[in-house]
Chain A
Amino acid sequence: DAKTTQPPSMDCAEGRAANLPCNHSTISGNEYVYWYRQIHSQGPQYIIHGLKNNETNEMASLIITEDRKSSTLILPHATLRDTAVYYCIVRVGYSSSNTGKLIFGQGTTLQVKP
């Protein structure tokens, strides 16, 4: 299975952009990159996903390099409520007939500071 590598922790000032990097150098051509976050001990929550192109939604932006070996999650204006563990995941085996598997790594603990 494709694996991801993330820094264990990062700090960000409130109101500033938080840029969370992820390496996934063994990703296959048809595998998606997903980002989830987990606030305190709640269940992981979907943020965004992408295949090749950059993506943006109401929560964040996802920048994927042209060779697809790495990506960056951007929270444009971080708030204290964005303090959480952020997981970068490659969705393995996903197709029109199979939901695939999400294998979580250790993630990045983002601390947003006032």
Chain B
Amino acid sequence: DAGVIQSPRHEVTEMGQEVTLRCKPISGHDYLFWYRQTMMRGLELLIYFNNNVPIDDSGMPEDRFSAKMPNASFSTLKIQPSEPRDSAVYFCASSSNREIRGYTFGSGTRLTVV
């Protein structure tokens, strides 16, 4: 298995632009999680899906953030418009209730908004 695949690995964008981060979970995993990591706040859970349905989005910071999961093998996290304070590493993780080892994380997308 290729693991959780995120793209792009790095993204540099100008303030005000739309940014889309992508994630492909492990096949067979029915849960997908989006985390954000910054020095100040550590790893924060933003939103998670079960069977493609958003279950808990209480961690999404603002309406500028939105996440979708159109099918079991793809999810996006979109920021529109982006701001410099959105600069962070965004991680995607997947799991299932059969997975006793917890979550498998992707390599992350490092976002820089200038």
Contacts and interface: CB of A to CB of B under 8 A. Distances in A.
B48 interface: yes
Given A34-B102, A43-B105, A99 B42 contact: no
Interface residues of chain B: helix, strand, loop or mixed (majority): strand
Interface residues of B, number: 27
Given A36-B102, A46-B102, A99-B95, A41 B43 contact: no
B101 interface: yes
Given A36-B102, A46-B102, A91-B102, A103 B45 contact: yes
Contacts of A42: 107-108
19 contacts: A41-B110, A42-B107, A43-B4, A43-B93, A43-B107, A44-B43, A44-B91, A46-B103, A46-B104, A96-B97, A99-B96, A99-B103, A100-B97, A101-B45, A101-B48, A101-B56, A104-B35, A104-B43, A104-B45
